[in-house]
Structure 1
Amino acid sequence: MLIVTNRNINSSNFKNGVGDHKAFGDSVNSKGPNEVRLAKAEKINGKWKVELIKEPSRITENNIPSRKEFSKIRDKLTETGKNCVFFVHGFNQSFEKNLEKSLALEKEHKVEVIVFSWPSNPGGFKTKEYRHAKRTAKASVGALDSTLEKLGSYLKEPFNREALETCNIKFTLMTYSLGNYLFQNYIIDSVYENETSIFDNVILCQADVDNKGHASWVNLIETGKKVYITINENDWVLKWSDANFQKDRLGRTAKNLNSDNAIYFDFTNGNGVGKTHGIFYKKTNNVVKDFFTKVLNGERGEDIKGMSYDSRSNSYRF
């Protein structure tokens, strides 16, 4: 997987440009939250190998080799027939946790993942740390914007028959939990210029953002196909967020689902769902798995069997 991160680098962890699961830390880059580094990561015999592509590098510079690395990913996707997911994780994620969750995403849904890894783990699962993570999320908007802008320029194809016939790779964005707070601030920021239109689907998974007023910014999201929002009213992480900070998290609320731009999927009553927060990779039931496999591969979630549209709630339900 390809890693784009504004985390601080643990230089002592690297030898000849290669490190492990401790390659990046839990603070922003020493040169600021908009400074990013690129790395490749793979798990070999149970151990992570993290290889720097260049150190240091600004994704806004024209001379970084990210186009070359992205081209390698596209070649790999063409050979394997896989699609690609750009993944923005949530709160309390160390670099290692982020790698493991991304690997689970790859394995469960047979996709290749590009990880946007931001420092969301300031020291624990407490009020002070959560607020710190939200401030870091806001500060990371510039890094996300530059990343998506650069990826968009790489995805542009020459307008000819050969290029169009071979370009069948689907590209999906999934923002998870507090990663949606970062994404929300990006969408409402003046830097947003419809860069998300490069994605076939955009998935706001178990969003740790306010349900109230969410339509005002969700309606601004540009995408090639659909915007999906997932809900579990019993989500234990979002319940904690509700109880300690604010009320009615978008990913935990089955009311006021009023964005004209989004399709809502409420998994609350699904077998095995229970209090699950990590609903895209935890074992629940085949319907939930089928939904994520479809939408992460750029297909229509509405086509899955086992859920139907409820006009009263404006959502698909069991």
Structure 2
Amino acid sequence: MYVVTNRRIQESARGVAQFGDAPNEGGNNNLRLAHVSRAGDAWRVEFIPDEPLASDEVEALVEEFGLPIDPAEPQYPSLRVACELARRVRKDERHVLFFVHGYNNDMGDVLKTAQALEERYDVEVVSFSWPANGGGVRGKLSYKSDKRDARASTGALERVLKAMHQYLEWITRARRARLLDHAEREHRRNQEARDELYARLLREDCPFTVNALYHSMGNYLLKQMLKSTINEGNDLLFDNVVLCQADTNHLDHALWVDLIRFRRRLFITLNENDYALSLSRTKLGSEQLARLGHYVQDLTSRHAHYVNLTGASWVRNSHSPFGEPAEKNDKVGEFFRAAFQGESAEGSLKYHPEGNWYAVR
């Protein structure tokens, strides 16, 4: 799997220890890209040098993918990674899941969760990891420190999303143009038939989707990015976006949630018994408002599908319902699988109009 991070890199360390607890010494927006694989009981971490690609490699990628770029212009290893991911998910008929973790997660936690997501939901995970373990402190101080780091990491998240959107556009543009030309030649005088054929050809030619999972305080990071007046990271990139157990204020959440762009669905999961959100509510006492992920009143977003998992079998007080609860409860697992694979995941759920939320049948 690949990890993009703005954490400080410990060059002299090995494995997971290479990911530091503090922000990158070059600044919060300084990003590094790493390939991570499992080596027995340990993780093998290879940071990719941020050096321009050789011109012959760029030329080969331009030829293979029909990229609309000048091979003479400098390109970086992130382009190679994007092309490799596209090649792999097309071949394996998998989907891409962009994962942003939450509060108090060290890299061991992040990688363990990412690997479980890949194995459980048959997706290719790309993780964005920010320094979310409080610099080594715990409790209230750790929570405050992580919120500061989340705010400081919004520029890094924006850079990642902007680059992902650019690469996806480059990789798919030539194929889309070729398929549209084919559809137009087949139905020169029938626009409806042309569009129908074009849509079918797109599904057959490019069966993978790109989806996003923001977990816990990762939603606070997204919220801060969307509130920025110079936000450039909210392009139409994802098919589905899942805001899972969001550790953000419920109050006025629709003001930023309705800014999120997506092709198919935006889901917000709720669990009134979520132990972590109940705990975060007490971190700052009366200053901390009700959290979006465990409050089932006033669900007012015009675009979101709210999914209330409160009381569902095996969910209990879980803060990560896509984990063990989804293993134990097939209906919960079915919802997350569909959501992470770009489908209309609410189809298996029962809608409750009195609260404007869906629930497991």
Name the TM-score class by shorter chain.
Answer: over 0.9
Question: How many angstroms apart in 1 are the aligned matches of 2:168 and 2:18?
Answer: 29
Aligned length in residues: 308
* 1:266 maps to 2:278: no
Opposite residue 25 of structure 1, the aligned amino acid is G
Opposite residue 141 of structure 1, the aligned amino acid is T
* 1:4 maps to 2:46: no
Opposite residue 271 of structure 2, the aligned amino acid is N
* 1:35 maps to 2:44: no
- Among 76, 84, 107, the residue aligned to 1:64: 76
Q: Kindly indicate whether the alpha-carbon contact (under 8 Å) linking 1:195 and 1:222 is maintained by their aligned counterparts in 2.
A: yes
1:86-125 equivalences under 5 Å are 86-122=98-134, 123-125=136-138
Q: Kindly indicate whether the alpha-carbon contact (under 8 Å) linking 2:249 and 2:291 is maintained by their aligned counterparts in 1.
A: yes
1:76-225 equivalences under 5 Å are 76-122=88-134, 123-156=136-169, 157=172, 158=174, 159-161=177-179, 164=202, 165-193=204-232, 195-225=234-264
Change (3 A) 1:263 1:125: farther
What CA deviation, in whole Å up to 9, does each residue of 1:46-84 have, x standing for no partner? 221111111589xxx954210111111111111111101
1:209-288 equivalences under 5 Å are 209-245=248-284, 246-283=288-325, 284-288=328-332
Question: How many angstroms apart in 1 are the aligned matches of 2:36 and 2:92?
Answer: 18
Counting helix residues as a fraction of each chain, which structure ranks higher? 2
Q: Kindly indicate whether the alpha-carbon contact (under 8 Å) linking 1:145 and 1:191 is maintained by their aligned counterparts in 2.
A: no
Greater displacement, 201-210 / 187-196: 187-196
Structure 1, unaligned runs of 5 or more: 14-18
What CA deviation, in whole Å up to 9, does each residue of 1:56-115 have, x standing for no partner? 89xxx9542101111111111111111010000001111111111111111111111000
Question: How many angstroms apart in 2 are the aligned matches of 1:191 and 1:88?
Answer: 21
Secondary structure of residue in 1 paired with 2:296: coil
Question: How many angstroms apart in 1 are the aligned matches of 2:280 and 2:50?
Answer: 37
User: 1:44 Cα shift?
Assistant: 2.3
Q: Give 1:16's aligned residue.
A: none
Structure 2, unaligned runs of 5 or more: 53-72, 183-200
Question: How many angstroms apart in 2 are the aligned matches of 1:149 and 1:62?
Answer: 18
Q: Kindly indicate whether the alpha-carbon contact (under 8 Å) linking 2:246 and 2:291 is maintained by their aligned counterparts in 1.
A: yes
Q: Kindly indicate whether the alpha-carbon contact (under 8 Å) linking 2:51 and 2:76 is maintained by their aligned counterparts in 1.
A: no
Question: How many angstroms apart in 2 are the aligned matches of 1:36 and 1:234?
Answer: 36
Change (3 A) 1:56 1:118: farther
Q: Percent identity?
A: 35
Q: Kindly indicate whether the alpha-carbon contact (under 8 Å) linking 1:194 and 1:222 is maintained by their aligned counterparts in 2.
A: no
Change (3 A) 1:297 1:222: same
Q: Kindly indicate whether the alpha-carbon contact (under 8 Å) linking 2:234 and 2:260 is maintained by their aligned counterparts in 1.
A: no
Question: How many angstroms apart in 2 are the aligned matches of 1:291 and 1:274?
Answer: 17
Change (3 A) 1:142 1:115: same
User: 1:282 Cα shift?
Assistant: 1.8
The structure number with the bigger radius of gyration is 2
Change (3 A) 1:56 1:124: farther
User: 1:191 Cα shift?
Assistant: 2.9
User: 1:194 Cα shift?
Assistant: 6.0
Question: How many angstroms apart in 2 are the aligned matches of 1:189 and 1:255?
Answer: 27
Question: How many angstroms apart in 1 are the aligned matches of 2:51 and 2:149?
Answer: 20
Secondary structure of residue in 2 paired with 1:3: strand
Q: Kindly indicate whether the alpha-carbon contact (under 8 Å) linking 2:245 and 2:292 is maintained by their aligned counterparts in 1.
A: yes
* 1:298 maps to 2:293: no
Question: How many angstroms apart in 2 are the aligned matches of 1:243 and 1:25?
Answer: 28
Q: Kindly indicate whether the alpha-carbon contact (under 8 Å) linking 1:201 and 1:295 is maintained by their aligned counterparts in 2.
A: yes
Question: How many angstroms apart in 2 are the aligned matches of 1:193 and 1:67?
Answer: 19
Opposite residue 5 of structure 2, the aligned amino acid is T
Greater displacement, 198-207 / 276-285: 276-285
- Compute the RMSD of aligned alpha carbons: 1.7
Q: Kindly indicate whether the alpha-carbon contact (under 8 Å) linking 1:152 and 1:195 is maintained by their aligned counterparts in 2.
A: no
Greater displacement, 190-199 / 1-10: 190-199
